[in-house]
């Protein structure tokens, strides 16, 4: 597929989301959404993230219903290892009491991990399939069919996850400390004197807002760079297979690490929000 484009066009094509927007003439897609601005849906990001979330729920629900007390099957053993791993990290990181934290951490870890692992699919496979479907089923020009199969390479998704964590942070802080306690924390730290309230508020607000920004940008930056390297490898012709294999093997460590970091930082932030300093 790389031979059909110049290198720059090939890279740009693979880094472009499939878009849907509402224009004056009705629903439009892809290039017609160039001027739609904020109110544009990235169809591929939505489809892959929701699909992988459903896959996670289906697998864990199936294993939960069929779980046995004897010698577990391979899938049940894998699920139990993941659950124990997450549970251990929650117990060592979160110092409050909440029935939500462990299920939330498990969901974040497995969901982000599945989305990250889409990065291991060869970059031309899914775009080629999408182009064939678009051409033969809908009469589209294959060059106008876009698909990004790694949801975490879309800043919109990582930002949405981070905003969800941020809302939970605020909710936990108010639940544990009350509005008065939360306000006092923003205005009386780190300098416990009324004269420093403006400085304290600025410092604490910047710290609070920086947490979801760091979550979103760390995950997006690492996965976007990784996907870009896979795309660049696909442009080198005959040598792409060994290079792709080497980079994919390296990412068998990196991709789970990014999911683990997102989960761990989420637990840490919620633990900090729950503590009364």
Catalytic positions, written as ranges: 214, 218, 222
* Residue 44 backbone class (left: φ over 0; alpha: ψ -120 to 50; beta: rest): alpha
Termini Cα distance of the chain: 57
Helix or strand holding residue 104 (H, E):
helix 101-117
Give the 3-state secondary structure percentages of the chain, helix then strand then coil, rounded to 5. 75, 5, 20
Largest CA distance in the chain: 70
Tokens of 119: 């990065």
The number of CA neighbours under 13 Å toward the Cβ of 273 is 25
CA 60 to chain CA centroid, Å, is 19
* Residue 147 backbone class (left: φ over 0; alpha: ψ -120 to 50; beta: rest): beta
- Cβ atoms of 148 and 16 within 8 Å: the answer is yes
| Closest C-alpha to 16, from 140, 139, 123 | 123
């Amino acid at each position: 597929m790389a031979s059909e484009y110049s290198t720059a066009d090939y890279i740009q094509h693979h880094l472009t989301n499939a878009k849907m927007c509402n224009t004056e003439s009705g629903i439009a897609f892809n290039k017609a959404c160039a001027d739609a601005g904020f109110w544009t849906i990235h169809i591929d990001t939505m489809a892959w993230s929701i699909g992988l979330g459903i896959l996670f729920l289906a697998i864990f629900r199936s294993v939960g219903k069929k779980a046995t007390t004897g010698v577990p099957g391979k899938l049940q053993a894998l699920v139990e290892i993941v659950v124990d791993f997450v549970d251990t990290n929650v117990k060592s990181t979160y110092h409050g009491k909440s029935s939500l934290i462990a299920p939330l951490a498990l969901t974040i870890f497995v969901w982000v991990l599945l989305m990250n692992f889409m990065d291991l699919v060869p970059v031309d496979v899914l775009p080629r399939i999408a182009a064939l479907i678009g051409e033969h089923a809908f009469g589209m020009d294959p060059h106008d069919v876009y698909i990004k199969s790694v949801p975490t390479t879309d800043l919109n998704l990582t930002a949405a996850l981070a905003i969800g964590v941020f809302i939970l942070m605020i909710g936990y802080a108010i639940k544990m400390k009350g509005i008065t306690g939360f306000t006092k924390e923003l205005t009386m730290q780190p300098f416990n004197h009324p004269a420093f309230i403006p400085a304290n508020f600025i410092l604490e607000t910047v710290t609070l807002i920086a947490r979801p920004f760091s979550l979103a940008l760390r995950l997006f930056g690492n996965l976007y760079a990784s996907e870009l390297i896979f795309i660049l490898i696909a442009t080198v012709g005959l040598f792409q297979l060994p290079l792709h294999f080497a980079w994919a093997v390296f990412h068998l460590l990196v991709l789970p690490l990014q999911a683990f970091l997102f989960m761990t930082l989420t637990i840490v932030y919620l633990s900090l929000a729950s503590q009364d300093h």
